[in-house]
Each structure stands twice: as C-alpha cells, then as structure tokens.
Amino acid sequence: MPPPSPTTDPCRDCGACCAQGFDCVEVEADEPFALLHRALLQPDFGVLQLRRPGGRCPCLLGARPTLRCEAYPLRPQSCRDFPVGEDSCAEARARIGLPPLPQVGTATG
C-alpha cells in the first residue's frame, strides 16, 4: 500500500492511540470533555482519566477503515495534541502490529 497522502486519514484505519496502544487519556477537570462526559472519567491522584475497559476508548466508534471519535468536536486536549507520525504514534501503532507513519499532523481520532 502506498504511504498516506495529505488527502487520506491514516487514523481511520488505525485507532491504536484510542485503543490498545495506551491505557488511558488524562483530562483536565475544566475541559469541555470533562464537563460533558464526567461519567466516563475516573479520578486518579488529582487527575481525571478516560480509561479503556476492554482495550478501547468508549468514544471510539466503528471499525477499520472507518474508525471515528464520537466526541471529536470536544475531544480531550491530549487527544487534540497527539502527534500523528511522531514517536508516540509509532509506539502505539507498533503495539498493534502496524508500521510507523510519516509525520503528517495531529490525530483526528
């Protein structure tokens, strides 16, 4: 398969950082996501965590290659900041057996 172009979205065919790639996302208490989805968050030593029971974020919908984030417009800041194609992305992808991507921007969920 050719490498992703700027017109394709590699996240829809991956989802690693929203699933098995990591255990949780930290969310600040004053973020819109926390205010809207408090029931999904667990306090842990002063921070709120969006956990993944069953190895998948409860906001991750669909299946490859049409994965999407149900909370996308107001997703946590950590998700907004997640760098597609950088080291943490490559680490998450490797954990589910996918190769690294070129650096193409921030995660689209």
Binding stretches for ligand SF4 (CB under 6 A): 10-11, 14-18, 21, 25, 57, 59-60, 69, 71, 75-76, 79, 82, 84, 89, 92-93, 101, 107, 109
From the CB of residue 104, how many other CB atoms can be counted at a distance below 10 Å? 19
Kindly list the distances between the CA atom of residue 82 and the CA atoms of 1, 2, 62, 90, 92, in Å, as whole numbers in the listed order: 24, 23, 20, 11, 11
CB of 46 to ligand SF4, least distance (A): 20
Q: State the alpha helices, DSSP H only, in 1-109.
A: 32-36, 77-81, 87-95
Minimum CB distance to ligand SF4, residue 109 (Å): 3
Residue closer to ligand SF4 by CB (options 43, 59) is 59
* CB of residue 14 to ligand SF4, shortest distance in Å: 3
Comparison of 43 and 74: residue with beta carbon closer to ligand SF4 = 74
The structure tokens 């956990």 sit at 51
Place of tokens 């994965």: 67
